[in-house]
Structure 1
Amino acid sequence: MQSKLVVAIALATALLMSAPGDGFAPSPAYAVEPDEVLDDPALEARARQLSAGLRCMVCQNQSIDDSNAGLAKDLRVLVRERLVAGDTNKEVIDYLVSRYGEFVLLQPRVSAGTVALWVTPIVVLFAGAGYAFVAMRRRRKDQPKTPTLSDEEQRELAKVLKNG
Structure 2
Amino acid sequence: MKRWLAAVTLGLALSDVAHAAIDTYEFANDAERARFRELTQELRCPKCQNQDIADSNAPIATDLRREIYRMLGEGKDNQQILDFMVARYGDFVLYKPALTSKTAVLWFGPFALLLGGLVLIGVIVGRRRRTPQAAGSDTLSVEERQRLDTLLDKTKDD
TM-score normalised by the chain length of structure 2: 0.64
For 1:84 and 1:94, how far apart are their aligned partners in 2? 17
Structure 1 32/112 Cα, relative in aligned 2: closer, same or farther at 3 Å?
farther
Task: Give the share of equivalent positions with the same residue, in percent.
Answer: 38
Tell me the amino acid that sits aligned with residue 44 of structure 2.
Answer: R
**Residue of structure 2 in register with 1:139 after alignment:** 128
**Residue of structure 2 in register with 1:38 after alignment:** 26
CA contact (8 A) 2:99 2:107 kept: no
**Residue of structure 1 in register with 2:73 after alignment:** 84
**Residue of structure 1 in register with 2:114 after alignment:** 125
Give the alignment partner of residue 63 of structure 2, picking from 57, 74, 91.
Answer: 74
Deviation, structure 1 residue 142: 4.3
Structure 1 87/45 Cα, relative in aligned 2: closer, same or farther at 3 Å?
same
CA RMSD of aligned residues (A): 2.6
For 1:148 and 1:33, how far apart are their aligned partners in 2? 79
Matches within 5 A, 1:8-157: 32-34=22-24, 37-41=25-29, 42-140=31-129, 141-146=131-136
For 1:56 and 1:31, how far apart are their aligned partners in 2? 14
1:75-97 deviation line (CA, Å, top 9, x unaligned): 00000111111211111110111
Tell me the amino acid that sits aligned with residue 132 of structure 1.
Answer: I
1:16-51 deviation line (CA, Å, top 9, x unaligned): xxxxxxxxxxxxxx95422xx024134333212211
Structure 1 142/50 Cα, relative in aligned 2: closer, same or farther at 3 Å?
same
Q: Tell me, which stretches of 5 or more residues in structure 1 are unaligned?
A: 1-29, 154-164
Structure 1 129/145 Cα, relative in aligned 2: closer, same or farther at 3 Å?
farther
Structure 1 142/134 Cα, relative in aligned 2: closer, same or farther at 3 Å?
farther
More moved, 97-106 vs 108-117: 108-117
